[in-house]
Amino acid sequence: MLSQYAELCAAHEDALVLFQVGDFYEAFCEAAEAVARICEVTLTERSDSTGDYPMAGVPIDNAAPYLESLLDAGYRVAIGDQVEDAEQASGLVDRAVTEVITPGTVVEDDLLEAGTTNYVAAVAAGGGGAESARNDGATTPRVGLAAVDVSTGECLVTAGDTDTVAEELDRIAPAELIVGPEAPAFDPADAERGWTAHEYDPAAFDRRAATARLEPYLSAPDRRFDDDAELRAAGAVLAYAEYTQGDDGPLSYVTRIRRYDPRDRLRLDAAAQRSLELFENRGLGASDTLFDVLDETSCALGRRCLERWLRRPLVDAAAIRSRHDAVGELADRTLVREGVADALAAAYDLERLVGRVSRGRADARDLRSLHATLAVVPEVKATLAGAEAEISAEAGADVPRTDHLRDLRDRLDELAEIRELIDEAIAVNPPPEITEGGVIREGFDDDLDALRATEREGREWVAELEASERERTGIDSLSVGHNQVHGYYIEVTDANLDRVPDDYRRRQTLKNSERYYTPELKEREEEIVGAAERADALEYELFVDVRERVAAETERIQGLADALAELDALCGLAAVAVDGDYARPAIVDDPDAGVEIEGARHPVVERSTESFVPNDVDLPRGAVAVITGPNMSGKSTYMRSVALAVVLAQTGSFVPAQAASLPVFDRLFTRVGASDDIAGGQSTFMREMSELTEILHDAGPDSLVLLDEVGRGTATTDGRAIARAAVEFLHDELAATALFATHYHGLTDLATERDRVFNLHFTATREGGDVTFLHRVVPGASSSSYGVEVAELAGVPAPVVDRARRLVAADAGGTDRVTERDGDGDSRAVANDTDGPNTPSDDTDEQGDASLREFLADTDEGAETGDGDRGTGTDDGADLGAGAEVNGDVSEDASAEPGGDVADESPSDPELAAALREFDLARMTPIEALNALHDLQSRLDDDG
Ligand code: ADP
Ligand code: MG
């Protein structure tokens, strides 16, 4: 047995093999130690002629939780089942791996969350150096991506450059990723949801092998895909899926391999999904996500559909309006909506059921669930037909006639013959086993009924035997019984043995009694057992036949599943719209259309806030709103409510507002400043900047960009410079529509410098003894000393507030730069008050930039107090002389700037001083700024 185990292990090197021994799955040797540790089961020993081996096992009946622990611990588990009947085997029972359970390919309901998707994805490099062009003209290697949900058969294929594929991976959020040769590695740490990534047999990624693999799934695979990269990824992911399902050929329920272009959907990268909390809440307080708010679906199908929709909102105005039409019609008709929802609540997860049916793994209960789901269809159709009649009746008036619901109704395939087949064939409450009888209904098959009748008559005869034998023998204590080993017997106590008739044959001797059988009993018994065995076998055959007939309709059932799923998702959206008092947004299909929302609310925050203050939004296309105001005043919430309205509208939902008119955006970017992104765990300035880089690379006129406190993760001076440069670039070069919440108050003067930049702000008041934020957005910039005001409202002692106010006032008389600097200082103090301690990474950043910051700060101070310094010492004077001379050529420049005397305090290196003079961050793109800053830093370091 151990050598059989070793063989299976060798054939599945990348997996932990569990080996059926009776009622247990056992592991041996090292694997046993892992199983014992991870599953917390006892490590035992097994001995044979070759020695003692550690062994650990889990019960097959209740394997799910143990398998889950193994998957969580990063194992793939190969199930080595006994594939021949132990009783019939001569010698060792044959075992084979029937299934490899991996995080991305589990199909067991126990291991899958209801109503979710579970993908395994593959990435492959294109052959022949295929490349795709980027916005900036550079090319990157083309990468193919394919994902399959083995439980439902959904299969997606796409390709693009590395960034696009990384973004798609974030959306698909596969549980497992397999990587082909030469394919780029994707860092799971970058994604919100990690996945297990591993390399898989390079041969599966081979072009020829992939084509051959795909042939059973679709005709002419090499012509169906855009390029090699897609073909390879699709072939490999299916190879892997087949391998995990026990290698018995193509997965026939993978009927629709869908190629798509990520550009056909609103693109939301991981950062956007994360910061908008679409699916995962990262905040410290509230625990809801947009998906939680939106999920009013009735069944797993609808829930999964809604998740797909929300991960990939539409960009086609007509398609969006069509969903809005349907949501509107359902929202207007409470009875219809509730009727459909009630009916759908009885629907099972048809997608997973049909997957099991088609894999030949469905049991009788699954078929009954399928039947129960099919049974709701006529009811749903009737309800919808009623609604249509109503709509048509109203159509005479000014109700626009739409077809979305009617199309859906047409797609609801009743599959009556399948429903009837199951109903006639399968028992109403069948047992979980399909080999032990009880699964086929009486009246379905004559032979089966005859066998069952024989069995029943035999049992009845036996049941009556006791009475008749008591009468015949006169032994009142005589009893008839049955046991597993000896079968039927007649038991007579020792006291009555003398009355035992001649035809009794002894079967077994007990302490106080004897057990007998009669030739007739034996005959009857054989009849009963024979009939029962044949009936069980026949039932199994009939069951498999029914299952195959159902499997033959896989595509139709999948089509029905899709239609039910959409209907459920639409009903759910309608329920949310009604319950949440949402409005249907007008979708304006015009490249100049901007965002106009009356009374916009944040769908998640409004749920946990007693009195949410709605705000208006008027954001023309290509405009940048710079939003200032104290910490906790509502800036982030406001920006997100705009982005969420866009996401919701393009998903097909109504929006939480009084009224809304929205354009169709094709991409949505968000970036939350490192210091604000407390829950992120990776709050480094570097990360912030690389995400900013992506935005500045890829955003365009059809993008909506949210920047929240960007540039805060570093020293004030360069942070502010980067923020300003980024806004300018967004406005001047990209013409993106953007919202920028910032504590860099100095940015508000961009509104006077740029056409399409305007200011908004939030304020605070005091009510009772507390600072109160009005949460109401108002036009214009907030006061530069709002930090001091809030400090006062919050009860900072008067002398401190007065002193602060004097400092601000003094600065207000100085240069622009100084005002900004000190304003920032104040807001930081407030930030610390309300946000709690700074994150450690924040401090690290500060330290990392310390020398540069001090240097820059010194030069600023030089500007402020330059005169005083100049007369302080003769040593300085000497330096000054030298500096002044060398810097002669830049003095014109210098005099034009308020900080013209900077060079007085500058380091001895005249070149460096010159470079610094020309160092105008405000006119650089962020990337240039970063490079220039980095350059300066290294020169300073060289300088010692
Ligand atoms: P900021 O970004 O300005 O620091 P936030 O947007 O994070 O402020 O808002 C802070 C808190 O104020 C939110 O968590 C929410 O509880 C509350 N809040 C924000 N906007 C509103 C609003 N419009 N109505 C009611 N409460 C709000
Ligand atoms: Mg904020």
Which residue has its alpha carbon closest to ligand 1 atom 10? 632
Query: Does the C-beta of 639 come closer than 6 Å to ligand 1?
Result: no
DSSP class of residue 412? -
Nearest to 729 by CA among 695, 689, 684, 759: 695
Cβ density class 363-376: b for 16+ within 10 Å, e for less: bbbbbbbbbebbbb
pLDDT attached to residue 863: 37
Kind of pairing between the strands at 586-587 and 154-160: unpaired
Nearest to 628 by CA among 751, 745, 794: 745
Token pair for 414: 């009743």
DSSP class of residue 440? B
User: Which residues are bridge partners to 53 per DSSP?
Assistant: 46
Contact 737, 619 (CB under 8 A): yes
Give the chain's largest Cα–Cα span: 137
Residue 394 CB coordination number (10 Å): 12
Residue to mutate (ligand 1; options 632, 739, 776, 828; most atoms within 8 A of CB): 632
Nearest to 333 by CA among 386, 284, 281, 287: 386
DSSP assignments along 649-697, one per residue? HHHT--BSSSEEEE---SEEEEEE-TTT-GGGS---HHHHHHHHHHHHH
How far does CA 36 lie from the centroid of its chain?
31
Contact 195, 177 (CB under 8 A): yes
Euclidean distance between CA atoms 167 and 145, whole angstroms: 11
Query: Which residues neighbour 721 within 8 Å (Cβ) at sequence distance 6 or greater?
Result: 711, 921, 922, 924, 929
User: Which ligand 1 atom sits nearest the alpha carbon of residue 709?
Assistant: 2
Query: Does the C-beta of 761 come closer than 6 Å to ligand 1?
Result: no
Euclidean distance between CA atoms 573 and 297, whole angstroms: 8
User: Which residues are bridge partners to 661 per DSSP?
Assistant: 586, 596
Query: Does the C-beta of 635 come closer than 6 Å to ligand 1?
Result: yes
Q: Which amino acid is at 819?
A: T
Q: Is the dihedral angle over the CA atoms 295, 296, 298, 301 positive or is it negative?
A: negative
Contact 785, 823 (CB under 8 A): yes
Q: How far does residue 818's CA lie from ligand 2's centre (Å)? A: 24
pLDDT attached to residue 532: 92
CA angle 827, 829, 833 (to 5 degrees): 115
Phi first, then psi, for residue 259 (nearest 5°) are -85, 140
pLDDT attached to residue 844: 34
State whether residue 177 is helix, strand or coil: strand
pLDDT attached to residue 453: 94
DSSP assignments along 792-811, one per residue? HHTT--HHHHHHHHHHHHHH
Token pair for 36: 């014992």
pLDDT attached to residue 919: 60
Query: Does the C-beta of 601 come closer than 6 Å to ligand 1?
Result: no
Token pair for 523: 């005959």
Which residue has its alpha carbon closest to ligand 1 atom 26? 612
Q: Which amino acid is at 473?
A: T
The parts of the chain modelled with pLDDT lower than 50 are 130, 134-135, 191, 284-286, 675, 677-683, 813-907
| Residue pLDDT, tens place only, 613-626 | 999 999 999 999 99
Residue to mutate (ligand 1; options 275, 608, 609; most atoms within 8 A of CB): 609
- If 0-12 CB within 10 Å is exposed, 13-18 middle and 19+ buried, where does residue 29 land? middle
pLDDT attached to residue 416: 95
Euclidean distance between CA atoms 359 and 944, whole angstroms: 70
| Residue pLDDT, tens place only, 267-279 | 987 788 888 989 8
Give 52's Cβ-side CA count (13 Å radius). 4
Q: Which amino acid is at 752?
A: T
Token pair for 504: 């009794």
User: Which residues are bridge partners to 596 per DSSP?
Assistant: 618, 661
User: Which ligand 1 atom sits nearest the alpha carbon of residue 633?
Assistant: 3
State whether residue 9 is helix, strand or coil: helix
Please give the model's pTM, rounded to 2 decimal places: 0.78
pLDDT attached to residue 125: 85
Euclidean distance between CA atoms 117 and 156, whole angstroms: 12
Place of tokens 């900004």: 820
Euclidean distance between CA atoms 503 and 566, whole angstroms: 72
Q: How far does residue 612's CA lie from ligand 1's centre (Å)? A: 9
Contact 186, 197 (CB under 8 A): yes
Which residue has its alpha carbon closest to ligand 1 atom 23? 613
Token pair for 551: 């499997």
DSSP assignments along 526-559, one per residue? HHHHHHHHHHHHHHHHHHHHHHHHHHTTHHHHHH
Euclidean distance between CA atoms 791 and 597, whole angstroms: 33
Euclidean distance between CA atoms 318 and 315, whole angstroms: 9
pLDDT attached to residue 916: 63
- If 0-12 CB within 10 Å is exposed, 13-18 middle and 19+ buried, where does residue 396 land? exposed
Residue 87 CB coordination number (10 Å): 6
Which residue has its alpha carbon closest to ligand 1 atom 9? 634
Contact 178, 236 (CB under 8 A): yes
Kind of pairing between the strands at 44-48 and 51-59: antiparallel
Euclidean distance between CA atoms 671 and 276, whole angstroms: 10
Q: Which ligand is nearest to the CA of 630?
A: 1
Which residue has its alpha carbon closest to ligand 1 atom 4? 632
Phi first, then psi, for residue 105 (nearest 5°) are -125, 15
Give the ranges where 40-133 is alpha helix by DSSP (H). 64-72
Q: How far does residue 935's CA lie from ligand 1's centre (Å)? A: 39
Give the ranges where 129-217 is alpha helix by DSSP (H). 162-172, 207-214
